[in-house]
Structure 1
Amino acid sequence: MALVLALASRFNAVDRGDAWARDTGTPVWVFDHGYHAGLVLQRESLQQFGGHFAAAWLAQFPDADWFEFGWGDAGFYYDVPTFSDVTVGIAAKALFLPSDSVLHIATGHGSPWQVFTQSDGVEVPVTDAALREIVAFVEAGAAADVQLGSGFYGESAFYEGQGKYHLFQTCNSWVSQALRAGGLASAPGPSLFSAGLLWDLKRRYWNKR
């Protein structure tokens, strides 16, 4: 396990700092759902900074106040809807054999804190410049705007993902990379695990809600 963490920390280990992050700005959220993290963006953020894919998502979920994005292994997402469904075999296959990816989008109304009451989370206010890059990164994680089927919870759906899932490109490292695309500091090492990702973000950006 120590070797895995060491290798993960060396992969894409570029910390661009938090030059674009600030104490006030548009909030984004990261929630830890037990073994994978999701990135939440407000509807207005997609409207203001999104492109083709964002426009499609906005049209498909016209009443959503926010969108939670998760990227990961297609088989893993479909086979393990909850942490209790994870097996050593499923996890090993997803991590060590590069596989097709999917983008999972879940939507909600009101505050995401009121929806994800059983999940750990952190809020990070970001500038418009950061948000533009984060939205662009999220859109780049999709290969098509046609829904593959319903998602895990609420009004949600799966989409064909862009890129392969493997040990050094997991659902949690994808969220970390989305934040770093916006110039925010998010350590790549702990992001192999959702709890490590949240710990690092809280350490840097914790704001009491």
Structure 2
Amino acid sequence: MIRYLRRLGIALGVLLAIPLAYLMAGQIGGMIPSNGDWVQAKRGVVVFVETNGIHTGIVVPVSAAGIDWRDLVRAEHLTDPRYAGTHLAFGWGERQFYLNTPTWADLSLSTAARSALGSDETLVHVDHLTPPVPGEHIRALVLSEAEYRRLAGFIRASFRLDPAGRSRPVRGYGPADAFYEGRGHYDAFKTCNAWVGDALRHAGVRVGVWTPFPWSVMSWFGEG
């Protein structure tokens, strides 16, 4: 019995150590800077980084610096096209996690396990917005046109297109958003928040080398 309890204790210790190690690694990765010499452009395109506490996203103008998203993200993809706005918020994630977990309260153990183990079924989430106002949950930064074009290229590459080069819309949460079939593999290391960090890093923005959590992303950008 003593030997059995000892083995059980070791097994439980390992099970507890795994999430703690993951959390610690995410904290450290989020603190180590990439593009350390980056500074905001004095003139350029104003974009935003936002969070709802579980997902982060990148908010961009519908049209700026020669990039017009209306060829990819159309008003008619919304359940109510009148909600098409001046800005678009992009996020990326695992299909079932995204569709079934709009808030932490909706998270189930099966969805979390499926996502952590990995999935090639991914979606791009797009919210249509009016001009954002910087605050606690949304931060503004100015990119040069070259940086913005790199950011836009990364985001576009995350869409899975049909043979005619068109995006593939999926019904959203409400009248002002839509999902689109995405590209890429999702797992515990490539999360929705890591995708945002990857996109910003690709553009040349200073952000952590690995950003699996929302705070890993948001901590790099000033208050309000």
Mark yes or no: TM-score above 0.5. Answer: yes
- For residues 70 and 49 of structure 1, the distance between their equivalents in structure 2, rounded to whole angstroms, comes to 18
Shift of residue 100, structure 1, vs aligned partner:
1.1
Shift of residue 108, structure 1, vs aligned partner:
1.7
- For residues 184 and 21 of structure 1, the distance between their equivalents in structure 2, rounded to whole angstroms, comes to 8
Residue 40 (structure 1) aligned with residue 59 (structure 2): yes
Gaps of 5+ in 2: 1-18, 162-166
Structure-1 residue corresponding to 2:50 = 31
Structure-2 residue corresponding to 1:139 = 156
- For residues 196 and 85 of structure 2, the distance between their equivalents in structure 1, rounded to whole angstroms, comes to 21
Question: RMSD between aligned alpha carbons?
Answer: 2.8
Q: Which amino acid aligns with 2:181?
A: E
Q: Which amino acid aligns with 1:56?
A: L
Residue 56 (structure 1) aligned with residue 78 (structure 2): no
Gaps of 5+ in 1: none
1:68–1:154: structure 2 CA closer, same or farther, 3 Å change rule? farther
TM-score under structure 2 normalisation?
0.75
- For residues 24 and 172 of structure 1, the distance between their equivalents in structure 2, rounded to whole angstroms, comes to 27
Say if 1:30 and 1:38, in contact at 8 Å, map to a contact too: yes
Say if 1:79 and 1:85, in contact at 8 Å, map to a contact too: yes
- For residues 169 and 21 of structure 2, the distance between their equivalents in structure 1, rounded to whole angstroms, comes to 38
Shift of residue 86, structure 1, vs aligned partner:
1.3
Aligned residues: 194
- For residues 208 and 87 of structure 2, the distance between their equivalents in structure 1, rounded to whole angstroms, comes to 25
For 2:127, what is the secondary structure of its paired residue? strand
Shift of residue 6, structure 1, vs aligned partner:
5.4
Residue 100 (structure 1) aligned with residue 121 (structure 2): yes
For 1:124, what is the secondary structure of its paired residue? strand
- For residues 177 and 113 of structure 1, the distance between their equivalents in structure 2, rounded to whole angstroms, comes to 24
For 1:104, what is the secondary structure of its paired residue? strand
Residue 66 (structure 1) aligned with residue 87 (structure 2): yes
Q: How does 1:12-23 map to 2 (within 5 A)?
A: 15-19=34-38, 21-23=40-42
Q: Which amino acid aligns with 1:196?
A: S
- For residues 187 and 98 of structure 2, the distance between their equivalents in structure 1, rounded to whole angstroms, comes to 13
Among 157, 162, 168, the alignment partner of 2:178 is 157
Q: Cα deviation per residue 1:108-144 (whole Å; 9 max; x = unaligned)?
A: 22x2238xx8x71211111101000000000001002
Shift of residue 187, structure 1, vs aligned partner:
0.2
Identity, % of aligned positions: 25
Q: How does 1:114-129 map to 2 (within 5 A)?
A: 120-129=137-146
Q: Cα deviation per residue 1:42-85 (whole Å; 9 max; x = unaligned)?
A: 1123x7135xx751315647842000001000010111122211
Which structure's CA Rg is the greater one? Answer: 2
Say if 2:33 and 2:207, in contact at 8 Å, map to a contact too: no
